[in-house]
Amino acid sequence: MRLAVLASGTGSIYEAIVNAGISVATVLVDRPCKAIDLAESDDIPVTAVMRTEFGKDFDRNAYSDEIVTQLQRQEIDVIAMAGFGTVLGKPFFDAYNGRVLNTHPSLLPSFPGWHAVSEALAHGVKITGCTVHLATLEVDAGPILAQASVNIEVDDTEAKLHERIKLVERDLYPATIKTFISSMEHQS
């Protein structure tokens, strides 16, 4: 199975995937980011499909078509979203239905979307965590593959809590990716 990691940020999720011994065929980015440097230092090809090249009136479907073209050109089977900052459209999910994994910093279905950690704190919940799920056209709504909980401490700030969630995520996500790929290999 050929795995692509889609990243936009620091590359910490990418690093966790590689450090877990998972082979990565390419890192696809939508903007300049640290993940590029990390992939290049690991001799992993980087595919850049820059969001800014799709105009002020961003065309999500045209962008998604280009992502699919690039991934299919490299014969990618499975995709791991790793803090990818662009919400992709129908063409992407049609092409890779059931083969796109994502991680989210809450125990879905609670607190979907970009502000999950701050919302957990604002709602006064005592436990949050991270979820690995299959990504679908509807953001953070796909089938849940794995979850791990993180206790919220009295003195937590958004930054402190998010760091603790990331620590759990860096173990849970690669383990889930391995299980998912193994399951796909046994089905084929």
Which residues carry out catalysis? Answer: 104
16 CA to centre of own chain: 12
Three-state DSSP state, 39? helix
Rounded Cα distance, 188 and 186, in Å: 6
Is residue 24 within 8 A of residue 17, CB to CB? The reply is: yes
Is residue 113 within 8 A of residue 139, CB to CB? The reply is: yes
Strands (E), 35-96: 46-48, 78-82
Q: Which residues contact 59 (CB under 8 A, 6 or more apart)?
A: none
Buried b or exposed e, range 34-47, using 16+ CB within 10 angstroms: bbbebbeeeebeeb
Radius of gyration of the chain (CA): 16
